Structure 1
Amino acid sequence: MEQTEPPKSRLKVQMEMELDRISYLPSNVIDKILSCLTLKEAVRTSVFSSRWRNKWAMLSGLVFDEKCFSTENCATFVNIVYHVLLSHTVPIEKFVLSHNTHRIPTIDIDRWVLHLSRNFIKVFELCIPDGPKYKMPLCFFSYQDMIVLELSQCLLEPPTTFKGFRTLKRVSFHRVTLAQDVLENLILCCPLLECLEVINCDGFTHLKIDAPNLRFLSFSGRLEDVSLQNTLNLAVVCFNSWRIYHRQDHVSSSNLAKFFIDLPYIQRLTIDGAAVQYLAVGDLPGRLPKPCLHLNFLSLPLKFYVLAEILTTIYLLRSSPALKVLHVTVRLNLLRSVDEEAESRLDSLYDDVNCSFPKLQFVQITRFSGCKAELDFIKFLLVNSPVLETMAIRASSAGGSPEVLKKLLQLRRTSSAEIIYLDP
């Protein structure tokens, strides 16, 4: 005859569950809670009960950063990483190492990277704050399950047998050294690449991109040339070349036309540094061979004393019928201005009755000095923007001239746009 538990015992168990609900949570709920905690907080949950004791060792993602372990003792931090890695009982899919206190010995990072090569790493982030660049060991190039890769202050020298990361979708390189052929092959051999960020890297002078699935590109650093091929899905580009190497005085081919030839679906373009100077090289076309039918946001610096850069900007605007937002940062040089011949050429462009910006709604101009070239450009925008709502102008110095403001308010416009004039 089957014995039933006395009512008193069942009541006791029920009372215990009421008093200690956290110990009786379903496993999936516990896993969800742990995934929302830092690694340090997750380890501390071991004291809750026996059910929680080893749960942290089943996390698929490990993040070692300042929020997690703020100890200033490098040896202590290194021991913590070793303990966590050796105590882990499930495959590690995410590993983030970003510790800014003391330099971690290279031999320890080598061992951690080797240990991770036995797992199925999908997200790998290694951020070295300063000091000598860390050379990625050969075992790193066997991480064939990666989807996200972020490296900072590292050196990449893959073996000759390296065939790329076939599943990689997002790459972010900050202060990474890699040769020209390494960069090109890495991009080419990542067929699923959607997001690429290359910031202040060295070892190459050309940025050659061949990535059919790429949707976001951000580059900042020294550069001699750019080549975008097979980038038909690229929608967002941030291009900041803060140094352009010297080239011949006259180049027949147009950098402006070449840059946009494989960008038919670009939606947002942010240009900074000497990038406009680069685009202005060569024989400028009056319009791009193929208009940017989807470009709705444009931000760029402009030297109003350099005719080629003004023309580059105007031609780009004329080729962007979907543009809604325009940001212009004036690069000042009060001692220089375009000559009379250049002004005459600009006047003829500004008087072009076939020019219109049918969707432009917001214009922001910063570091405005009030010179004639700037006023002419603003007038050009106001006259040719029938749906413009706001023209926000921020002066280059406090206490802008009342006469300049008066001139701005008197400019003819084809819309009811509001002109907002601001001090720095």
Structure 2
Amino acid sequence: MEKKFDRLSNLPFDVLEQILSCLPIKDAVKTSVLSSNWRYKTATLPNLVFDDHCISGEFLSVNSSTIVNIVDHVLSSHIGPIHKFRISHPHLQASHDIDRWILHLSTKSIREFSLEILTWRPYSIPPCLFSCQDIVHLELYHCLLKLPSKFKGFENLKSMDIQRVRLSRRVLEKLIIRCPLLERLTLANCDGFSHFKINAPNLRILDLEGKFEDFILENTSNLAEVCIDLDFKANQKQILDCNSSNLLKFFADLPNIRKLRVQNQFIKYLAVGPLPEKLPEPCRYLEFLSVCVSFSDLDEILTLLGLLRSSPALKELEILVCKEDNAGGGEMYSGLHDNVSCQFTQLQLVKITGISVKAELDFIKFLLLSSPVLKTMTVTPTSVNDFLELVGELLGFRCASASANIIYLEP
């Protein structure tokens, strides 16, 4: 009998590796029993991912001991380098097992490490992780982070995502500055500090979220995308006594910003201190701005106007009106009439959500008169009751752009 040619087994190794990497790891391991040719193929896979998706949808429902057995089996039989290791599970309790895995990975040229667990006590990262000099991406969730005294930095790290991590200001600043190639940083809902500084010359993308009082961007001229969701809880008396402008301080080292999201209460932070009509140096490359603003707060409105005047390249604007805004906008109305000569010559798309009819219509009128190349404006009121009144008002507004399309959406 003629022996059939096994086309699958004879595929190039890199193609087989790609196929196996797409399988849930439990299914990939099962292929080792297909034939002698497949026995060691999964043992050399460089990317090991242990989560619900990669364990055939059952991983999150298994208990802690089963998880440990699965990971131990895969690591003990593995041959060669491990470039990516990710584990995500809500019930992983045994910290000494995770310590063992990280120690093993520190000898395997690990490049991407991601740990996400939801235990009641934060997991303390062992010192051996900081010896992984090949690491490029680091992702930690719900951990306690302290740096060993001999830590010299991650020379190859380009992306860092730390969420619900407990660490001191000194540890955070030292960690950032000792990652000279860092390009992307996510810092969300961490505790242990209220003030901090980010010094990162190669940083391009920054995402900050949480409760903190103040921060400084230093040596960040390459930042292109910034998203800040700040629950502003600073001492209000101390803020009122502040003579420096947070708006000027924030943009002092952002000459190349292209995309900015200002969410939650961060506009309140920017409005602290003297408010200039425009920034000393314009944001020449800022094309997208998304901001959450209260139209019953004059300082927030002036801060927004200052940003708009300082953004000559702005093409897309998103505004989320704070839900608690029910007050009238008398001061806002007179302030906008002082800015009728302001022109947004590149603005094409505008989206405004949460219109309450009473305080925001003057701002919409201002934008329509000041945007000669506007293509689309989408407006959404806070309630269905405001919808017809909103449409009636807007139909009477003049528009500088002959091709502008005004879209009205019901909430």
TM-score range, shorter chain: over 0.9
| Residue of structure 2 equivalent to 1:396 | 382
2:150 is the counterpart of 1:161: yes
The equivalences for 1:208-247 within 5 A come to 208-246=197-235, 247=238
Q: CA deviation at 1:38?
A: 2.6
Q: CA deviation at 1:155?
A: 0.7
Q: CA deviation at 1:28?
A: 3.7
2:324 is the counterpart of 1:337: no
What CA deviation, in whole Å up to 9, does each residue of 1:247-283 have, x standing for no partner? Answer: 3313221111110111111111001111000000000
What CA deviation, in whole Å up to 9, does each residue of 1:115-174 have, x standing for no partner? Answer: 112221111001112421000011111111100000000010111221211110000011
What CA deviation, in whole Å up to 9, does each residue of 1:169-195 have, x standing for no partner? Answer: 000011011100111111111000000
The equivalences for 1:245-284 within 5 A come to 245-246=234-235, 247-284=238-275
Residue type at the aligned position of 1:194: E
Query: What is the distance in 2 between the residues matched to 1:401 and 1:43?
Result: 58
2:166 is the counterpart of 1:180: no
| Residue of structure 2 equivalent to 1:33 | 19
Query: What is the distance in 2 between the residues matched to 1:151 and 1:313?
Result: 35
Aligned partner of 2:123 among 117, 120, 134: 134
Query: What is the distance in 2 between the residues matched to 1:360 and 1:321?
Result: 9
| Residue of structure 2 equivalent to 1:206 | 195
Give the 3 Å change call, closer, same or farther, for CA 48–322 of structure 1 in structure 2.
Answer: same
2:60 is the counterpart of 1:75: no
2:77 is the counterpart of 1:90: no
Give the 3 Å change call, closer, same or farther, for CA 419–83 of structure 1 in structure 2.
Answer: same
Aligned-partner SS, 1:51: helix
Query: What is the distance in 2 between the residues matched to 1:183 and 1:261?
Result: 22
Query: What is the distance in 1 between the residues matched to 2:29 and 2:212?
Result: 46
| Residue of structure 2 equivalent to 1:422 | 409
Q: Is the 8 A contact 1:219 1:238 kept in 2?
A: yes
Q: CA deviation at 1:286?
A: 0.7
Query: What is the distance in 2 between the residues matched to 1:343 and 1:50?
Result: 76
Q: Is the 8 A contact 2:381 2:410 kept in 1?
A: yes
Q: CA deviation at 1:345?
A: 4.9
Q: Is the 8 A contact 1:391 1:419 kept in 2?
A: yes
Q: Is the 8 A contact 1:200 1:220 kept in 2?
A: yes
Q: CA deviation at 1:29?
A: 3.2
| Residue of structure 2 equivalent to 1:54 | 40
| Residue of structure 2 equivalent to 1:299 | 290
2:350 is the counterpart of 1:363: yes
Q: Is the 8 A contact 1:180 1:206 kept in 2?
A: yes
Q: Is the 8 A contact 2:110 2:135 kept in 1?
A: yes
Q: Is the 8 A contact 1:98 1:128 kept in 2?
A: yes
Give the 3 Å change call, closer, same or farther, for CA 38–333 of structure 1 in structure 2.
Answer: closer
- Aligned pairs, number: 404
Structure 1 vs Structure 2 CA RMSD:
1.6
Aligned-partner SS, 1:75: helix
- Normalised by the size of structure 2, how large is the TM-score? 0.94
Residue type at the aligned position of 1:387: V
Aligned-partner SS, 2:240: coil
Aligned-partner SS, 1:367: strand
2:310 is the counterpart of 1:319: yes
Q: Is the 8 A contact 1:306 1:337 kept in 2?
A: no
Give the 3 Å change call, closer, same or farther, for CA 301–27 of structure 1 in structure 2.
Answer: closer
Q: CA deviation at 1:66?
A: 1.5
| Residue of structure 1 equivalent to 2:339 | 350
What CA deviation, in whole Å up to 9, does each residue of 1:349-379 have, x standing for no partner? Answer: 333x2x11000001111011101x3111111
Quote the sequence identity (%).
49
Q: Is the 8 A contact 2:137 2:160 kept in 1?
A: yes
| Residue of structure 2 equivalent to 1:410 | 396
| Structure 1, gaps ≥5 residues long | 1-11
Q: Is the 8 A contact 1:78 1:104 kept in 2?
A: no
Q: CA deviation at 1:196?
A: 0.2
The equivalences for 1:13-28 within 5 A come to 15-18=2-5, 20-28=6-14
Give the 3 Å change call, closer, same or farther, for CA 335–61 of structure 1 in structure 2.
Answer: closer
Residue type at the aligned position of 2:294: K
| Higher mean displacement: 202-211 or 286-295 | 202-211
Query: What is the distance in 1 between the residues matched to 2:337 and 2:243?
Result: 23
| Structure 2, gaps ≥5 residues long | none
Query: What is the distance in 2 between the residues matched to 1:17 and 1:257?
Result: 73
Residue type at the aligned position of 1:237: V
Q: Is the 8 A contact 2:157 2:179 kept in 1?
A: yes
Query: What is the distance in 1 between the residues matched to 2:141 and 2:332?
Result: 47
The equivalences for 1:115-134 within 5 A come to 115-134=104-123
| Residue of structure 1 equivalent to 2:178 | 189
